[in-house]
A and B are shown apart, each in its own frame.
Chain A
């Protein structure tokens, strides 16, 4: 069996196993084992991928497998990975694994919780391995829907409102995507040859420019909604704030990356001409996302809202970099996806743990936590430093690459936007340091906090997994960057190889 299919199969089997568990302990052990295997598999995949490349395999997609599903419509189950998707699979495996341990103590309807969570992850894995637009879309929706139950049942605050808002906005996004996909399908081949959903086949054919102009906004905005594109980002703060810890982690850490990945893999890769023409509109929108998200974070008092707005900012940066359409910026975009995925998952995990102890998420009600829960405090500071781009941690590598890449454009439009977006780093520093200052240092505002216990083993395991990955990328970014670059090169060449129909600028 193809190793990639296992990534969908293992979560499904884990779900079946959970159905037969008898108590909470068994449920979480089974979940942990399942996702542990998944993590090992992801490591194995990276290793196999690298050896394959070293052995000189130059195919665009490795571990390619194709099987016909619906012959009349030429729908296939086609899977394969390149450096970018391998990196995303690694990210997903780490975040899901950490998420299981972060929700170790879920006791209300625990079986259903882990089933939904793992089902969601199988959708995400499926999305990243798919090369057929139909299956890709199928997995995309599988990843979105369990969110409703996860937030609606196990969430906090105005959970029903947030769950419904999130689900409906994301489904509206998938409405746009569906129109885009169908349009791509019916123009996927020259007249006379069979139509196809296969991503790699379509990329060899040029979709008529008039159709591209029509379809590109559908596809890009559709995926952009999931990537928190301004002004369609409003589901994100509410959704993240109401969601239970593991779900926030998974959602901000992985699911929002589906948006960036899809916008890149489907919208820009398949319709480069229209992308060049219309990039300026979306560059402005994503630029607003970046700066607005950062400013939004400054004014929030709820820890989760702060992190949710910072996610809007950071994910906006991903789309921003993708739209710059040169190799360096796009490389940065992928690293940023991974780096932000790990960082934000770590943040949400920590917030969940702090909330579990203090029973509040309002920053002005807390203070001096560093003295009572030093482990969580230190990890929080490190995560914050990674978020504001301290060298040696993953955030620096990502943001540096993005801004260097963006600045390679010589025209003033791109440069001004780059400078504006880069200013978000400063704003990020403001809100991160402010939170760290109030939350961790200063006097202890509540005597009850003096008796707080520091992290227990499963919490340490969850946070350390994420922390190690962040540090690894920060210390040794080259192997990741090379892995991505190898696959990115031909793609960027294809995107920029089109007749340069310059946009407005």
Chain B
């Protein structure tokens, strides 16, 4: 329970300090918040108690702690990347709100991951979603941002409704909301199948799987860059974590059924995400669609249904956090300095900002699954887990999609290295803290792949579908 408690304390501390700061001093909250969160991240790795609380509503074990730690690392990077943008004058008064809202959603995600019954899961989900809409509308003086907030709140209200309806059916048919009881009682009666489909649809909204992805691109484009990176990395990662745990422990008796569904959705998600990403010119929109396609790849790990499947899913999320945050880090550094977000603006970037360019190239290669960076290992293991279930054709479709995705990732590389521009983005030096964040991403992209103990460490905690 330590993760959640410290986070809540953090939120309160930030709130109290903020109350005591004069208007002109608000930016002082930034170093305090980041150093406090850094301490929280480190403390998260200390040995912690495991067990069950509140009569089974809340449980914590090695796996949940690991997942929370992975999210913490991601959030820490996001916080560091957002400093330059937060220091802008327009955000002067609401800096602490950013931290309060963001950390609240993180509390929600932590509760979600640790939930032992559907009620806690739902509470966590809502806590993770509603402040998110406020974050999306953070720069509310811009129409696009306000629109993103409204779009997010409306579509997630709908998806929460569907999910809740599914939960009520589950409760109605089994008489319980606890994961282990429901898991033992679940079978393939029509109502329970329907309940599962509703539940899955609700989760699919959060992970933005096709055909529940329509909100994604607009919200991603409208929100401030750092909020977008938080959405597409942390929020998605948390939802994937909870989805795979629920699928493996609660709905294991109808695994034969959800495997078909996931097969279909994975194919659709990969194709649609990739084909739409091909034509995007705005970097945020581009990364939004590429992240939809990445979610399709993640489903392959869930489909595996064995220990390998879960390990590779968690591992891939870790890799994905670093590679996507690397890409978003560059986009946000450039957007914060110049306000440019279009791919055409990146023409000739290598001649002026070689280091940023190299990091961007590493990140997109990692997203595209090119060795020797971590993305290759992540994808390989995901594909291996799907192949272990005998889904060779799906693996083939997935690798073909990886090739399609390589096309648009290479377009970014092409813009930066090959295209000439008369007005390239001028050379600039990022803030120290941004640079530290970018270096962390670059190191992660290299180390996570090659250094096998990370994979083996994750493998210690994972499990196969319960039988």
Query: Cβ of A171 and Cβ of B403 under 8 Å apart?
Result: yes
Q: What is the distance, in angstroms, from A267's C-beta to the closest C-beta of chain B?
A: 16
Q: Mark B395-408, 1 if CB is under 8 A from A, else 0.
A: 11001101100110
**Which among B388, B403, B456 has the greatest number of chain A C-beta atoms within 10 A?**
B403
Chain A contact residues: helix, strand, loop or mixed = helix
Docked-complex contact B403 and A145, CB < 8 angstroms? no
Considering only residues 363-381 of chain B, those with a C-beta below 8 Å from chain A are 365, 370-372, 376, 380-381
Task: A75 to B381: give the CA distance in the assembly, Å.
Answer: 11
B456 touches A179 (CB 8 A): no
Residue from A134, A139, A175 in contact with B396 in the complex, judged by beta carbons closer than 8 Å: A175
Q: From B450, which residue of chain A is reached at the shortest CB distance?
A: A69
A70 and B312 alpha carbons, distance in the complex (Å): 12
Is there an interface contact between B395 and A182, defined as CB atoms closer than 8 Å?
yes
Q: How many contacts A-B (CB < 8 Å)? A: 83
Contact A70 B396 (CB under 8 A): no
Interface residues of B in 273-313 (CB under 8 A from A): 308, 311
Which residues of chain B come closer than 8 Å to A47, judged between CB atoms?
none
User: Interface-forming stretch among A148-156, A410-418, A448-456, A467-475?
Assistant: A148-156
Q: How far is the CB of B168 from chain A (nearest CB, A)?
A: 40
A141 touches B371 (CB 8 A): yes
Residues of A within 8 A of B392 (CB): 179, 182-183, 214
Cβ of A478 within 8 Å of any chain B Cβ, yes or no, is no
Give A175 to B405 CA distance when docked, in angstroms: 13
Indicate if the CB atoms of A153 and B371 lie closer than 8 Å.
Answer: no
Stretch of B20-28, B108-116, B409-417 on the interface side: B409-417
The total of chain A residues at the interface (CB under 8 A) is 34
A164 to B417, CA, bound (A): 14
**Which residues from A are CB-within-8-Å of B400?**
172, 175
CB distance from B376 to the nearest CB of A (A): 7
In angstroms, Cα B265 to Cα A181, docked, is 25
A149→B416 CA distance, assembly (Å): 11
CA distance A167 to B395 in the complex (A): 20
Chain B residues with Cβ under 8 A from A142's Cβ?
A: 371-372
The reply on A185 being an interface residue by CB < 8 A is: yes
For residue A127, give the distance in angstroms from its CB to the closest CB of chain B: 12
Interface centre among A69, A134, A171, A214 (most CB of B within 10 A): A171
B384 at the interface (CB under 8 A from A): yes
Please tell me if the beta carbons of A152 and B402 are within 8 angstroms of each other in the complex: no
- In the complex the two chains form, what is the Cα distance from A108 to B384 in whole Å? 42
Could you say which of A138, A167, A178, A186 contacts B406, with CB atoms under 8 Å apart?
A: A167
CB distance from B263 to the nearest CB of A (A): 16
Take A142-B372, A175-B400, A178-B383 as given contacts and tell me if A71 and B456 are in contact as well, using a CB distance cutoff of 8 Å.
yes
* 10 smallest beta-carbon distances between A and B, as pairs: A175-B399, A182-B387, A171-B403, A138-B371, A70-B452, A152-B418, A179-B396, A141-B371, A72-B459, A172-B403
Write 9 A-B pairs (CB below 8 A) sorted by A numbering: A134-B380, A138-B376, A139-B371, A142-B372, A148-B410, A167-B410, A175-B402, A185-B387, A186-B387
> What is the interface of chain B, defined by CB distance below 8 A to chain A?
308, 311, 365, 370-372, 376, 380-381, 383-384, 387-388, 392, 395-396, 399-400, 402-403, 406-407, 410, 413-414, 417-418, 452, 455-456, 459
